[in-house]
Amino acid sequence: MKNITKSKEEGLAGFSLKTLLITLLGILLFILYVDVLMNGENSLSVLNQVEESNITLTQKKITLKNENQRLQKIFFELKQLEPKE
Protein backbone atom coordinates (compact mmCIF):
# COMPACT_ATOMS: atom_id res chain seq x y z
CA MET A 1 0.00 0.00 0.00
CA LYS A 2 1.39 3.39 -1.02
CA ASN A 3 1.75 6.18 1.48
CA ILE A 4 -0.74 8.85 0.34
CA THR A 5 0.29 11.54 2.81
CA LYS A 6 3.24 13.79 1.97
CA SER A 7 6.35 13.53 4.01
CA LYS A 8 7.39 16.46 6.18
CA GLU A 9 10.25 17.35 3.84
CA GLU A 10 8.03 17.86 0.81
CA GLY A 11 6.34 21.20 0.31
CA LEU A 12 4.15 22.39 -2.50
CA ALA A 13 4.25 20.48 -5.84
CA GLY A 14 6.87 18.06 -4.59
CA PHE A 15 9.50 20.71 -3.81
CA SER A 16 11.04 21.05 -0.41
CA LEU A 17 10.29 24.07 1.74
CA LYS A 18 13.94 25.13 1.50
CA THR A 19 13.79 25.16 -2.31
CA LEU A 20 10.58 27.18 -2.29
CA LEU A 21 12.03 29.76 0.13
CA ILE A 22 15.23 30.14 -1.89
CA THR A 23 13.20 30.56 -5.09
CA LEU A 24 10.95 33.14 -3.44
CA LEU A 25 13.99 35.04 -2.16
CA GLY A 26 15.50 35.01 -5.66
CA ILE A 27 12.28 36.36 -7.17
CA LEU A 28 12.09 39.14 -4.56
CA LEU A 29 15.71 40.13 -5.18
CA PHE A 30 15.08 40.23 -8.95
CA ILE A 31 12.02 42.45 -8.42
CA LEU A 32 14.10 44.76 -6.22
CA TYR A 33 16.83 44.90 -8.88
CA VAL A 34 14.32 45.82 -11.61
CA ASP A 35 12.82 48.50 -9.35
CA VAL A 36 16.24 50.06 -8.76
CA LEU A 37 16.90 50.07 -12.51
CA MET A 38 13.62 51.80 -13.24
CA ASN A 39 13.45 54.23 -10.31
CA GLY A 40 17.00 54.54 -8.98
CA GLU A 41 19.58 57.26 -9.51
CA ASN A 42 20.88 55.55 -12.67
CA SER A 43 17.45 55.10 -14.23
CA LEU A 44 16.20 56.00 -17.68
CA SER A 45 14.12 58.90 -16.33
CA VAL A 46 17.22 60.46 -14.77
CA LEU A 47 19.05 60.06 -18.08
CA ASN A 48 16.22 61.85 -19.89
CA GLN A 49 16.27 64.69 -17.33
CA VAL A 50 20.02 65.12 -17.76
CA GLU A 51 19.68 65.20 -21.55
CA GLU A 52 16.93 67.84 -21.32
CA SER A 53 19.07 69.87 -18.94
CA ASN A 54 22.01 69.57 -21.34
CA ILE A 55 19.89 70.91 -24.22
CA THR A 56 18.63 73.82 -22.10
CA LEU A 57 22.14 74.72 -20.93
CA THR A 58 23.50 74.54 -24.49
CA GLN A 59 20.80 76.95 -25.66
CA LYS A 60 21.53 79.28 -22.75
CA LYS A 61 25.26 79.15 -23.58
CA ILE A 62 24.56 80.23 -27.16
CA THR A 63 22.30 83.06 -25.96
CA LEU A 64 24.92 84.30 -23.48
CA LYS A 65 27.68 84.18 -26.11
CA ASN A 66 25.57 86.30 -28.46
CA GLU A 67 24.77 88.76 -25.70
CA ASN A 68 28.45 88.93 -24.73
CA GLN A 69 29.41 89.72 -28.34
CA ARG A 70 26.82 92.47 -28.50
CA LEU A 71 27.95 94.01 -25.20
CA GLN A 72 31.64 93.82 -26.13
CA LYS A 73 30.90 95.60 -29.39
CA ILE A 74 29.11 98.38 -27.50
CA PHE A 75 31.92 98.54 -24.95
CA PHE A 76 34.66 98.91 -27.57
CA GLU A 77 32.64 101.50 -29.49
CA LEU A 78 32.25 103.54 -26.31
CA LYS A 79 35.89 103.09 -25.41
CA GLN A 80 36.97 104.62 -28.72
CA LEU A 81 34.82 107.68 -28.05
CA GLU A 82 36.60 108.46 -24.78
CA PRO A 83 39.42 110.99 -24.94
CA LYS A 84 42.93 109.53 -24.83
CA GLU A 85 45.12 110.54 -21.94
Read off the pTM.
0.51
Q: What pLDDT does 9 receive?
A: 54
**Amino acid symbol at 84:** K
Q: What is the pLDDT of residues 16-72, one digit of tens each?
A: 889 999 999 999 999 999 888 888 877 878 888 999 999 999 999 999 999 999 999
**Residue 4 confidence (pLDDT) above 60:** no
Report the phi/psi class of residue 43: left, alpha or beta, with left for phi > 0 and alpha for psi in -120 to 50: beta
For residues 11 and 19, the answer to whether their CB atoms sit within 8 Å is yes
